Structure 1
């Protein structure tokens, strides 16, 4: 067997982050009567998402802290429409971050794939998410028992795609590089990051992206394809 250790990204690889987050923020939008400030939920969510991506990039570069990322991403949409109420934003933040990890929607075929893989391989999570959320997400969706260890950027303060987190994950799980495989949906974080340290990769190409700068070790569009690869 070529591989012994499989490192999975969590958000939008196993746990359906995009769907679960959208559900949560739409609930919060109604609860906090944000229709007072925004034309629609779509108006709010587009403002939130665009700035959230920018903040995560800054967080990865060490330009903002975790607390500042959370503060800014929830306050910014309100500020953008002239309703910069920091107390309201903080309440929305606290509520959102308590609700989102209780959501349980998974990407297609997750349980089937993990049931097949878990007796054959050492399964690990390697994620950029926050510790207080990621473990709760896994428990809520019933996938926590498949994994021998959860390795998070929170553990060392360094995010994928930086090589340090991949080396840390290998060390923390006592895994050999040439026996390990990274599986994820983020080209930059998962595939470029793993390739940068010489780890083989599976690109879960959800969007059907074709303009890839290099050829990943494997490419799939459905997790069920892992059953034929591994």
Structure 2
């Protein structure tokens, strides 16, 4: 649910989530897994096709990242468990294969350049009016590679990861870290992201206005300052 919108509010900074908000995680993930399916000849290991690999990976990965966001597991568990659980599902688990797939995935996927629709156009527009910063729970090194691959690094004043801040979204402390980095007040910033828990609830806990990026128009009851289905709609808000 949307809060009543305040008109004419001026912000100094715009905070962005990265994966699923600017960097097209799903497309880049799918392309990488298709490449790995072919390179490792996984058709010979009872995995029907690249799409089957991707769909099972997506299911496992979503579950693990949700546990991570709720501070129930660490990033090391995600790295170790993702492909183990995927291969287990197909009866194809081997420790060496699982480790190789994990390493190759982490090496190749961040180098994919696909962005969400209108991402670069919106960043170009907003960067002329506001200071922009990334706030992400993703791995430090990997998030920088993603930004460079998408050719959008130059738009951001700060890249704030959970590793750098010492706190992960939805903790208010990572948002406070970003606010202090800009030497502003919470009311001077607005957070844009696709995750109602980490991005929206987290920012609200720090009294930062929010934009819920919801391209699939998933129904929900969460309070947001704004809600959009396409990044281009930000031009009407900001």
TM class, shorter-length: over 0.9
Partner Cα distance (2:43, 2:182) in 1: 47
TM, length-normalised to structure 1? 0.93
Q: Paired residue for 1:120?
A: 129
Q: Does the CA contact (< 8 Å) of 2:34 and 2:51 recur in 1?
A: no
* 1:16 and 2:24 correspond: yes
- Paired position in structure 1 for 2:146: 137
Q: Report if aligned partners of 1:60, 1:158 keep a CA contact under 8 Å in 2.
A: no
Deviates more, 1:102-111 or 1:48-57: 48-57
How far off its partner does 1:66 sit? 1.8
- TM-score by length of structure 2 reads 0.90
SS in 2 for 1:225: helix
Q: How many residues align?
A: 229
Distance 1:106 1:112 in 2: 11
Give me the whole-angstrom Cα distance separating, in 2, the residues matched to 1:171 and 1:16.
29
Distance 2:165 2:123 in 1: 27
Using a 3 Å threshold, how does the CA distance of structure 1 residues 56 and 210 change in structure 2: closer, same or farther?
Answer: closer
Counterparts of 1:62 and 1:195, CA distance in 2: 19
Show structure 2 runs of 5+ residues with no match: 1-8
Query: What is residue 189 of structure 2 aligned with on the other side?
Result: 180
* 1: CA distance, partners of 2:156 / 2:70: 29
Q: Which moved more, 1:198-207 or 1:184-193?
A: 184-193
Secondary structure of the 2:129 match is coil
Which range is displaced more, 38-47 or 129-138? 38-47
Q: Is the counterpart of residue 223 in structure 1 residue 231 in structure 2?
A: yes
CA displacement at 1:197 relative to structure 2: 1.7
Alignment root-mean-square deviation, CA: 1.6
